[in-house]
Amino acid sequence: MNHDINIKECRINCFRESKVPGEFMLQMRVPGGMIDSKYLDLIQKISKTYGDGNFHFGTRQTFDICRIKYEDIDKVNKCIEDYIKEVEEGLCDVDMDLVAHEKVGRKVNTGYPTIGARNISACIGNYHCICGNINTFELARKIEPIIFPSHYHIKINISGCPNDCNKAHLCDFGIIGVSKLVYHKERCIGCGLCAKICESHATRVLSLNKETGKIDKDECCCVGCSECARHCPTSAWTRSEQKFYRVILGGRTGRQTPRTGKMFLNWASEETLLQVLGNWQKFSSWVMDYKPEYLHGGHLIDRAGYKKFKEIMLDGVHLNPECIVAEDIYFNEIEYRSNFNVKPLSKHKKAGPGA
């Protein structure tokens, strides 16, 4: 076996190094986490032929196939050619020739050209969930050709509603489906169920007017969860036909400075959302002087500052009338760096009660 392996080149080709020298894990993209089950035959074939027979559902909803030997990478890339063509080019309309392989030092003829933009993960959305306001994987497939392939890193999570089951608050660019609710007063029977649901499940913006027997709403703090529409027995509340989105910015996990993201846009239309994301690579290249590094979106925002980020990301974007943009964002980070000089317990002493 050739021990002179360029780990960086393999990673760019979507093969992650293992703790076992010479073994790698392939990460296959599944934009939005939804794919035809027929591809499980391919996963099984690669796993059994080139791996150890197992595969892992990646935390970003990729198919992760482990224990692939370095010398088999080209064979595995050949196996996934049709998958990439059907999923990336067919389902998502991605231009796979967009990134020049030579820019990062390796000429890759097959397989993924870059690992830059991470797989877009999503909850099941309104394809199945009764709480979902949007079709999450359809949105993911529209975003995929905007951010991929690219050597600039970004993590995008999509949640179908403000329950945020897919943790949009913990990634570079989190998208949450929200609804503008329409109140049909003539259908309302004054049962007050929507107000009770809003009080226990949401932001307490609804109240039953005892004089009119109808519902009053404080528009300022509605999060667009649509729980009122879901529970109303007479459909006095309905979701608007137009889809809207909330964008959460700069969240992240990590060893040193994890943090929860903050709201960047609220009530953005799909057109506005896609236009904003269309500026992501322009922003990334500006921050890094056109030299891609292994840095995720949250760190790039920190480098540039929110004001510059907003300037570039909104350049040329037509904001829909309902869209609200955060004037400024102040992140609260948790630093895992202790200033305390803690002495370990002596090997000969045990901590007893009250120690």
pLDDT at 3: 58
Interhelix angle 280-287/306-313, rounded to 10 degrees, is: 140
Helix (H, G, I), strand (E, B) or coil at 82: helix
Closest alpha carbon to 247 in 322, 168, 153: 168
pLDDT at 264: 98
Query: What domains sit in the chain, N to C, each tagged with a CATH number?
Result: 13-115 (3.90.480.20), 181-239 (3.30.70.20)
pLDDT at 101: 43
pLDDT at 125: 97
Show the low-confidence residues of the chain (pLDDT under 50): 1, 100-107, 348-355
pLDDT at 255: 87
pLDDT at 344: 56
Helix (H, G, I), strand (E, B) or coil at 214: strand
Helix (H, G, I), strand (E, B) or coil at 217: strand
Cβ contact 231:223 at 8 Å? no
